[in-house]
């Protein structure tokens, strides 16, 4: 390893960046948005252009950010991660102590791979998947009546749902004929009930996704769907597919038609390109489309190794995020895709980013002295323009924005209205927003005054294909881990979700007892009895 | 009027609250979450309990917040609004200068109404809707082949989409048999294309929603759908319904089967209970269900007049929000419904809140001296628990949280797994999260330490019925306007969305010219040509 774990504020360049942040580039100054600036503030890789002339940076800041990348050893750490270093750990304390190898899932196009063991495991799963999908296509794997499968229910939560769902929705324009995919994730029984309406269970496959084989929400939903199969007099064994860790309680050929494996070196939120996304996407879009997703992701994974930040969109996006968050003091970041198909991509990024980098201790177990991960949120434009953009333009908070757009539509079913196509309107609106946020507008009516200097980036590609989707996913995965490396935090664990889980289970145990005989008189505190009970349990068991 | 427009920091109680905020209530102290506190920190109305023991408030702070409500005249302003005062204005400057009467849409159950004129208009529209829906039900209004309508496409954007869509999804468990509703909002042509797949246009009604009759995205999507009707050899006049302002370009019986009217005293983001939501919800859920929504909303509108903050959930939620935002310094608020049906409710609130209160000038046209509207975001639990909750528990930002839950499920198709039902698990998880965020947990492993003192509220009702949905919607509408009154801003205009619109149109005009002969050589700056062009236009036309 050529890098040491050091906090952002321990690096030599930190003070310089703090000083530069006192007078950040003024995007509202006359001539600030020069054609030269717009043309040259651009970083490209794997089919994506990152346009960043609307960020509050100049050449001096970019030089400082390059130093930040170099001094933190971000790229070296990224390479070590890909090679199989144990990056998921907290030095000196009990921790997950694992490798981080989601990149190995798509490292199948070049020899030698970065980590041979993980890539071989990925290739084995892909080969099994290819066989299974071909059997489905050729009608060799069919239901009890000999009919092919037309529908697929994905049961999973968190990383087993958000990433795969975002990708499927993004690419449903390329769905195979007569194939539909549905999702159940919430423990809310209405979620499962809504999916079961209007579904022919006899022609449906059910993919159950849980690495541990013991995720409560997922097992509960699986039971609900198994009960529906029983009521319909169908054998679940003919319909259910497990996507789980090798040897988990779910890795059981007596209960599942097939098992596909995931490994402990891939965290849930980074698992969309493993079998977690693969089985469902392969069923819905076809095997070739899934391989295209992997090809795009691999291309971006390789581009993210580039040391020159001007040639590495993932690294530059990470650094611009740190500039806005740690030096300009912005608490959130909005991801605004100008593509309806990317409807759920912000929700995936919200998980991937906030679960990775919403941390308060360093990799040495010390309390961090700087802000870590921002709050990530967003919705597709142009809808957002008719909604929360008011605050982006004129609110008292500054929200750095990441726009995502494409030059062509997916369906290419477009219509010219008033001289331009809808796709042209979409891109025009996106670029106009970036410029309006940056440059602002003076007006004698104070209510029509726009202060400007609200930073944004634009990610632009030709068309949202499977390849582009893979690239976009990998770009953000790389952005997130590179930021974590620079903040010196462990972006790969999630201890913060444990306490709520433990409390919920204690509470449920208590509820079971109450149901069986009544420990407390609920009627005394109508409305808040449940909270009272929860508090009582909490008090008893709390470790202090 | 008994109130004057004064900023939050001009009110006598402001300094007192600043002082109290230096030592906010410590939720992690031993015994802090006492049963007495949990039971008594509760405000109830219209079927909802607001549980707020997990907020960082004590009796002194609550007393201060009561004074804040009194001194700002928030409730008096709310009453004036309902009676028809011109609340949508900026004193001394050109502004929309309109009444704000969304509450009149549901003020149909008590005599006399607060504003007779607006309520009479609402009743007239409702009567027309009831007749139209009955004609559809009885097969008196049918397609050219004499068949009934089974599907409905809602074309609208912003307030004409988010609120209505959130309500329909929330209540689709109560959808009428053989009735389905679809939505198109984005100018992205793939949005319309995706809806058109698998739809029988011959049995579909199309509701086009635009107050002005000139919203570009909506007109473009209407043209796309009209073209699809033309291709299918169907007459749009037999299928298209207009929901628009009286006398707008869309108020045209030659083009539409029916017209329903909306009025300039109802802003888009507050229009879900007007005909904007009414026609679609009436088609999908039935007229009686829509009236139930109005009944719940009206009940909450009346409850929001209560001057005692301990008896007024909307007012208390507004004040707790201001406490967290302006006094404890939290920039965002998360809305986390433990109900999958409320999937899109946070997106509606995001618009309603951020477009209303993301402002920087007072109602007197002065620059505000305090922070106004927060950034609002959220996703349903329990999904979020497997995603971004890591940051809520252990991140370096504090995110105040508003949980929403129900004691019963909608479908009541539930299954006991491990001794409890899914609905019990759902509620248990929600309460456990509120307590975990508040109380935290000590641990010798720094990575398993939870600092606690992360504030939240829980909104709890029995079941997500149409009545409850109406109440919940009105509760948040009232919360938002009450906050705006206290911040002394105009929560009813949206000047901040204008600049982007103007720029996009200039850019589109320019694109048309480029397409017709080439003003610029695109190949010189591949990737950023569009931005260059946008900048060039921007520079020429910018008002300085």
pLDDT digit of tens for each residue in chain B (544 aa)?
557 778 899 999 999 999 999 999 999 999 898 888 998 999 999 999 999 999 999 999 999 999 999 999 999 999 999 999 999 999 999 999 999 999 999 999 999 999 999 999 999 999 999 999 999 999 999 999 999 999 999 999 999 999 999 999 999 999 999 999 999 998 888 888 888 987 999 999 999 999 999 988 899 999 999 999 999 999 999 999 999 999 999 999 999 999 999 999 999 999 999 999 999 999 999 999 999 999 999 999 999 999 999 999 999 999 999 999 999 999 999 999 999 999 999 999 999 999 999 999 999 999 999 999 999 999 998 888 989 999 999 999 999 999 999 988 998 777 787 788 888 888 889 999 999 999 999 999 999 999 999 999 999 999 999 999 999 999 999 999 999 999 999 999 999 998 888 888 888 887 776 555 544 444 444 445 566 666 665 554 443 3
The reply to whether omega before B112 is within 30° of 0 (cis) is yes
Instruction: Name the token pair of A152.
Output: 């697929």
Cα separation, B25 vs B58, in Å, equals: 6
Residue B514: predicted pLDDT? 59
Residue A523: predicted pLDDT? 46
Q: What is the pLDDT of residues A387-434, one digit of tens each?
A: 999 999 999 999 999 999 998 899 877 778 778 888 888 888 999 999
Q: Which residues of B touch A340 (CB under 8 A)?
A: 186, 188, 190-191, 194
* Whole-number CA gyration radius for chain A: 25
Q: Indicate if B386 belongs to the active site.
A: yes
pLDDT band at A542 (very low <50, low <70, confident <90, very high): very low
Residue A521: predicted pLDDT? 46
Residue A524: predicted pLDDT? 47
Residue B2: predicted pLDDT? 59
Q: Which residues of B touch A399 (CB under 8 A)?
A: 375
Contact between B334 and B375 (Cβ < 8 Å): no
Closest CA to A470 of A44, A47, A82: A47
| pLDDT above 80 for A531 | no
Q: Indicate if A386 belongs to the active site.
A: yes
Question: Measured between CA atoms, how close is A179 to chain B, in angstroms?
Answer: 13
Residue B529: predicted pLDDT? 56
Query: Chain A residue closest to B190 (CA)?
Result: A411
Q: Which residues pair with B43 in a beta bridge?
A: B50
H/E stretch holding B377 reads strand B375-377
- Distances from the Cα of B536 to the Cαs of A491, B511, B533, in angstroms? 42, 12, 5
Q: Which residues of A touch B447 (CB under 8 A)?
A: 90, 93, 95, 361, 365, 490, 493, 495
Q: Per-residue pLDDT averaged across A502-511, rounded? A: 82
Residue A198: predicted pLDDT? 77
* B92: contact with A, CB 8 A cutoff: no
State the greatest distance between any 2 C-alpha atoms of chain A, in Å, as a whole number: 76
Cα separation, B301 vs B49, in Å, equals: 15
Closest CA to B472 of B348, B288, B320, B309: B348
pLDDT band at A168 (very low <50, low <70, confident <90, very high): very high
Of the residues A19, A110, A501, A525, which is catalytic? A501
- Distances from the Cα of B492 to the Cαs of A17, A506, B81, B162, B221, in angstroms? 40, 46, 11, 17, 27
Count the alpha carbons within 13 Å of B476 in the hemisphere toward its beta carbon.
Answer: 26
Query: Chain A residue closest to B194 (CA)?
Result: A173
Q: Indicate if B411 belongs to the active site.
A: no
Contact between A437 and A385 (Cβ < 8 Å): no
Q: Per-residue pLDDT averaged across A307-331, rounded? A: 98
Query: Chain B residue closest to A450 (CA)?
Result: B496
Contact between A400 and B375 (Cβ < 8 Å): no
Cα separation, B427 vs B405, in Å, equals: 7
Q: Per-residue pLDDT averaged across A110-114, rounded? A: 97
Of the residues B235, B311, B501, B525, which is catalytic? B501
Residue A516: predicted pLDDT? 56
- Using DSSP, state whether A530 is helix, strand or coil: helix
Interface of A with B in 168-187 (CB under 8 A): 172-173, 185-187
Instruction: Name the token pair of A271.
Output: 């698992």
H/E/C letters for each residue in A303-339?
HCCCCCHHHCHHHHHHHHHHHHHHHCCCCEEEEEECC
CB atoms within 10 A of CB B202: 18
Instruction: Name the token pair of B423.
Output: 């609905």
Residue B523: predicted pLDDT? 46
Residue A535: predicted pLDDT? 62
Residue B518: predicted pLDDT? 45
Give rounded-to-5 percent helix, strand, coil for chain A.
Answer: 50, 10, 40
Q: Which residues of A touch B49 (CB under 8 A)?
A: 527-528
pTM of this prediction?
0.95
C-alpha torsion angle, residues A475, A476, A480, A481 (rounded to 10): -40
Query: Buried b vs exposed e over B489-521: b needs ≥16 C-beta within 10 Å?
Result: bbbbbbbbbbbbbebbbbbbebbeeeeeeeeee
Contacts of A251 (CB under 8 A, 6+ apart): A213, A242, A244, A245, A259, A261
Q: Which residues of B touch A42 (CB under 8 A)?
A: 527-528
């Amino acid at each position: 390893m050529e890098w040491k774990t050091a906090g952002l504020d321990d690096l030599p360049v930190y003070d310089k960046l703090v000083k530069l942040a006192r007078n950040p580039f003024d995007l509202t100054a006359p001539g600030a948005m020069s054609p030269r600036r717009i043309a040259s503030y651009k970083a490209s890789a794997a089919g994506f252009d990152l346009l960043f002339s609307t960020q509050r940076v100049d050449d001096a800041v970019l030089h400082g950010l390059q130093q930040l990348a170099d001094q933190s050893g971000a790229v070296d750490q990224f390479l070590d991660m890909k090679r199989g270093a144990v990056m998921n750990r907290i030095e000196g304390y009990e921790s997950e102590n694992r490798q981080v190898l989601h990149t190995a899932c798509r490292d199948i196009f070049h020899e030698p791979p970065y980590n041979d063991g993980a890539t071989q495991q990925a290739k084995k799963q892909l080969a099994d998947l290819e066989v299974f999908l071909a059997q489905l296509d050729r009608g060799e794997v069919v239901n009890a009546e000999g009919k092919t499968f037309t529908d697929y229910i994905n049961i999973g939560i968190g990383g087993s749902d958000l990433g795969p769902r975002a990708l499927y929705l993004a690419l449903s324009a390329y769905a195979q004929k007569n194939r539909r995919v549905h999702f159940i994730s919430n423990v809310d029984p209405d979620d499962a009930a809504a999916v079961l309406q209007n579904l022919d269970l006899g022609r449906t496959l059910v993919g159950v996704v849980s690495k541990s084989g013991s995720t409560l929400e997922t097992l509960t939903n699986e039971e609900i769907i198994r009960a529906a199969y029983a009521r319909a007099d169908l054998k679940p064994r003919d319909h259910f597919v497990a996507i789980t860790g090798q040897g988990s309680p779910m890795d059981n050929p007596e209960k599942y038609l097939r098992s596909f494996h995931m490994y402990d070196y891939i965290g849930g939120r980074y698992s969309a390109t493993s079998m977690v996304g693969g089985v469902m996407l392969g069923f819905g879009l076809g095997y070739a489309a899934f391989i295209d997703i992997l090809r795009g992701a691999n291309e971006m994974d390789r581009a993210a190794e580039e040391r020159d930040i001007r040639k590495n969109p993932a690294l530059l996006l990470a650094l611009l995020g740190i500039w806005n968050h740690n030096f300009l003091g912005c608490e959130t970041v909005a991801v605004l895709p100008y593509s309806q198909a990317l409807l759920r991509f912000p929700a995936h990024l919200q998980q991937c980013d906030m679960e990775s980098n919403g941390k308060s201790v360093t990799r040495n177990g010390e309390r961090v002295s700087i802000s870590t991960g921002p709050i990530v949120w967003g919705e597709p434009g142009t809808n957002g323009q008719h909604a929360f953009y008011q605050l982006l333009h004129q609110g008292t908070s500054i929200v750095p924005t990441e726009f995502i757009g494409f030059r062509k539509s997916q369906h290419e079913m477009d219509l010219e209205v008033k001289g331009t196509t809808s796709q042209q309107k979409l891109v025009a609106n996106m670029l106009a927003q970036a410029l309006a946020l940056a440059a602002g507008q003076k007006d004698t009516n104070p209510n029509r005054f726009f202060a400007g200097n609200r930073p944004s980036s634009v990610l632009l590609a030709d068309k949202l294909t499977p390849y582009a989707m893979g690239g976009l996913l990998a770009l953000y995965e790389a952005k997130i881990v590179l930021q974590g490396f620079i903040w010196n935090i462990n972006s790969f664990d999630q201890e913060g979700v444990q306490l709520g889980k433990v409390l919920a289970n204690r509470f449920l145990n208590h509820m079971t007892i109450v149901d069986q005989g009544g420990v407390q008189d609920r009627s005394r505190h109508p409305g808040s009895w449940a909270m009272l009970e929860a508090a009582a349990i909490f008090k008893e068991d709390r470790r202090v």
